[in-house]
Structure 1
Amino acid sequence: MRSTAKWVAATLLLLTPAAALPQLALPGVGPALPVPDRSLRDLAEPLIDPVNGVVDSGIFDRLSKSELGTLLKRLRTGRVNQFLRQNRDYVERDRNGDPAVRGVLIATGISAASLELARNEGFQILERAEIEGLDLSYVKFATRPGKQLKSEEKRLQKLAREAEVSADNIYFTSTAVTMAVSSATLASGKAAAGAMGLIDGGVARHSAIAMPVEQRGFARGGAVASSHGTAIASLISGSLGSRSRGLLAADIYGSDPAGGNATAIARALGWMAQRDVPVVTISLVGPNNGLLGRAVKAAQQKGMLVVAAVGNDGPAAPARYPAAYKGVIGVTGVDHRERALPEAGSATPIDFAAPGTGIKGASPDGNLVPLRGTSFAAPLVAARLLSHYPAANIGKIDAAVRGLIREAKDLGKKGADKVYGHGLVCGNCGLR
Structure 2
Amino acid sequence: MMSKIGKYGLGAMLLAAAAPLSAQLIGGTGGLLGPVGGAVDRTLGAVTGPVTGPITGSPSASGADAPVVSLDHVAPSLGTAVSSASSLLELRRLRIDSFIRSNRDTLDRDPDGAPVRRSALVLIDPQAADLDQLASAGFRTVRDEQADGLGIHMVTMTPPKGMNVRDAAKRVAKIAPGVQFDFDHIYEPAGGALDPVAGKLAAAVPFRPGTRIAMIDGGMASHPSLSRASIEQRGFAGPAQPTGHGTAVGSLLVGSDGVFRGAAQGANLFVGDVYGGNAAAGSATVIVRALAWAVSKRPSVINISLVGPANAVLKRAIDAVRARGIAVVAAVGNDGPAAPPQYPAAYPGVIAVTAVDGGDRALREAGRAAHLDFAAPGADLAAALPGKGYTVVRGTSFASPLVAARLAAVGNVGALMGEAVPGKGKVGNGIICKSCRIAPRSVGIK
TM-score (norm 1): 0.82
Alignment of 1:199-218 (within 5 A): 199-209=216-226, 210-218=228-236
Q: How far apart are residue 134 of structure 1 and its match?
A: 1.2
Q: Is the contact between residue 281 and residue 308 of structure 1 (CA under 8 Å) also seen in structure 2?
A: yes
- Counterpart of 1:4 in structure 2 is none
Equivalent residue number for residue 429 of structure 2: 422
Q: 1:268 to 1:153 in 2, by over 3 A?
A: same
Question: 2:267: which partner in 1?
Answer: 245
Q: CA deviation at 1:271?
A: 0.6
Amino acid in the other structure paired with 2:248: A
Which residue does 2:156 correspond to in 1?
140
CA distance 1:37–1:160, change in 2 (3 Å): farther
Q: TM-score, normalised by structure 2?
A: 0.80
Q: Which runs of 5+ in 2 are unaligned?
A: 4-17, 20-29, 56-66, 256-260, 440-446
Task: Tell me the CA shift for residue 60 of structure 1.
Answer: 6.2
C-alpha separation in 2, matches of 1:180 and 1:213? 21
Q: Which shows bigger deviation, 126-135 or 304-313?
A: 126-135
The 2-side partners of 1:268 and 1:40 are apart by: 25
Cα pair 2:68 2:393 within 8 Å, conserved: no
Q: Could you give the per-residue CA deviations for residues 204-234 of structure 1, whole angstroms, max 9, x where no partner exists? A: 11112241211000102x1000000000111
Q: Does the CA contact (< 8 Å) of 2:263 and 2:406 recur in 1? A: no
Alpha-carbon distance change, 74 to 242 in structure 1, aligned in 2, over 3 angstroms = closer
Of 288, 299, 305, which aligns to 2:321? 299
Decide whether the 8 Å contact of 1:284 with 1:375 is kept in 2: yes
Using the TM superposition, give the Cα deviation of residue 113 of structure 1 relative to its aligned residue in structure 2, in angstroms.
2.6
Q: Name the CA distance, whole Å, in 2 between partners of 1:205 and 1:152.
A: 43
Q: 2:52 aligns with which of 48, 51, 73?
A: 48
Which residue pairs with 1:170 in the alignment? 186
2:126 alignment partner, SS class:
coil
**SS at the partner of 2:157?**
strand
Q: 1:57, CA displacement in angstroms?
A: 4.6
Tell me which residue corresponds to 1:393.
none
C-alpha contact (below 8 Å) 2:253/2:264 kept by paired residues: no
Contact 2:219 2:243 in 1 (8 A): yes
Question: Quick one: percent identity of the two aligned structures?
Answer: 38
The CA deviation at 1:380 is 0.5
Q: Does residue 1:187 correspond to 2:202, yes or no?
A: yes
Contact 1:195 1:244 in 2 (8 A): no
Aligned with residue 107 of structure 1, among 120, 123, 126: 123
- Post-superposition offset of 1:54: 2.8
Q: How does 1:18-57 map to 2 (within 5 A)?
A: 38=32, 42=36, 46-51=50-55, 52=67, 54-55=69-70, 57=75
Separation (CA, whole Å) in 2 of partners of 1:242 and 1:134: 26
Distance in 2, Cα, partners of 1:165 & 1:206: 41
Give yes or no for contact 1:127–1:139 (8 Å, CA) kept in 2: yes
Distance 2:180 2:340 in 1: 22
Offset of residue 355 of structure 1: 0.7
Amino acid at match of 2:271: A
Amino acid aligned to 1:50: P
Match for residue 268 of structure 1 among 290, 293, 296: 290
- Could you say what the CA RMSD is over the residues aligned between the two structures, in angstroms? 2.4
Q: Conserved in 2, the CA contact under 8 Å of 1:101 and 1:169? A: yes
Q: CA 1:242–1:233 in structure 2 vs 1: closer, same or farther (change >3 Å)?
A: closer
Q: Paired residue for 1:277?
A: 299
Query: Tell me, what secondary structure is at the counterpart of 1:428?
Result: helix
Counterpart contact for 1:40–1:79, Cα < 8 Å: no
Structure 1: 5+ residue stretches without partners? 1-21, 23-33, 390-399, 414-418
Corresponding residue of 1:81: 97
Q: Shift of the alpha carbon at 1:41?
A: 5.9
One-letter amino acid of the counterpart of residue 179, structure 2: A
- Aligned amino acid, residue 243 of structure 2: S
Change (3 A) 1:256 1:346: closer
Corresponding letter in the other structure for 1:116:
D
The 2-side partners of 1:331 and 1:207 are apart by 28
Q: Is the 8 A contact 1:39 1:173 kept in 2?
A: no
User: Following the alignment from structure 1 to structure 2, what is the Cα–Cα distance between the partners of residues 293 and 336?
Assistant: 34
State which of 354, 357, 365 in structure 2 corresponds to 1:335.
357
Q: Relative to 1, partners in 2 of residues 1:192 and 1:299: Cα closer, same or farther, differing over 3 Å?
A: farther
Distance 1:331 1:61, change over 3 A: farther
Give the whole-Å Cα distance in 2 for the aligned partners of 1:384 and 1:39. Answer: 32
- Cα distance in 1 for residues equivalent to 2:104 and 2:69: 28
In structure 1, how many angstroms separate the alpha carbons of the residues matched to 2:76 and 2:436?
21
Within the alignment, does 1:71 sit opposite 2:65 as a pair? no
